[in-house]
Amino acid sequence: AQRVTQPEKLLSVFKGAPVELKCNYSYSGSPELFWYVQYSRQRLQLLLRHISRESIKGFTADLNKGETSFHLKKPFAQEEDSAMYYCALYNFNKFYFGSGTKLNVKP
Amino acid sequence: ETGVTQSPTHLIKTRGQQVTLRCSSQSGHNTVSWYQQALGQGPQFIFQYYREEENGRGNFPPRFSGLQFPNYSSELNVNALELDDSALYLCASSLEAAGGSADTQYFGPGTRLTVL
């Protein structure tokens, strides 16, 4: 069965520090993977998707099929990055979301 | 371009009752997905509708059902409510071809359902 795991519930870093939010998935085929973000008092919104291979707000994520991972990275965290981040997998018209990681960027 | 809206914002029901939640998709979006999000958890996929037909379903019992209408609105119906159905219910619309890749989902603000 497909599964998305985000091992960290909370990640606290200082402003300017690198950040990596971990996401591991279980799926044997070629998954479509996404990162969604929810800022305080805002709706859940797409941050990036692996097939577009783009960088949004300085975030990147590389799909590693060997390690079945799709970690989200940013070299220098900003306070406005503080939010809830969800990794998600799409397969055969179904979405699977992880339980989320709360990123707290301290000044 | 208007965003995704959901109604009502909050709802309180008692165990055994039935509830209907509503969602208005972004104009032109032919696909709507519904999610259940319990406190402290990620969204759990309930089902997806494409052009008024259910084309994907998560691990939810048949008492969770839905409808999608030609005017881009949709409904989530839950029968025989249980205490564990208390959660935030999210809908998300997208423009997607049947069986194709997932396009960007645009989420609504959610409906908070409390079952007593």
Residue B19: what residue type? Answer: V
Task: Give A26 to chain B, closest Cα distance, Å.
Answer: 16
Q: Are strands A45-49 and B31-37 parallel, antiparallel or unpaired?
A: unpaired
Q: Is A84 on the interface with B (CB under 8 A)?
A: no
Q: Are B26 and B4 in contact (CB under 8 A)?
A: yes
Q: Does the pLDDT value for residue B2 go beyond 70?
A: no
Is A43's CB within 8 Å of B109's CB? Answer: yes
Q: What is the pLDDT of residues B34-67, one digit of tens each?
A: 999 999 899 999 999 998 999 899 999 999 999 9
Q: Which of A49, A86, A93 sits opposite B48 (nearest CB)?
A: A93
Q: Which of A51, A96, A99 sits opposite B41 (nearest CB)?
A: A99
- Based on the number of CB atoms within 10 Å of its own CB, is A7 exposed (0-12), middle (13-18) or buried (19 or more)? exposed
Q: What is the pLDDT of residues A22-43, one digit of tens each?
A: 999 998 777 889 999 999 999 9
DSSP line for A65-97: TTTTB--EEESS--GGG-EEEEEEEEETTEEEE
Is B48's CB within 8 Å of A99's CB? Answer: no
> Which of A95, A96, A97, A101 is the best substitution to test chain B (most B C-beta atoms within 10 A)?
A95
Is A97's CB within 8 Å of B45's CB? Answer: yes
Q: Does the pLDDT value for residue B102 go beyond 80?
A: no
Task: Give B17 to chain A, closest Cα distance, Å.
Answer: 28
Q: Does the pLDDT value for residue B16 go beyond 90?
A: yes
Residues forming beta bridges with residue A88, ordered by sequence position? A34, A97
Report B:3-62 residues touching A (Cβ under 8 A). Answer: 4, 33, 35, 40-45, 48, 50, 55-58
H-type alpha helices, chain B: none
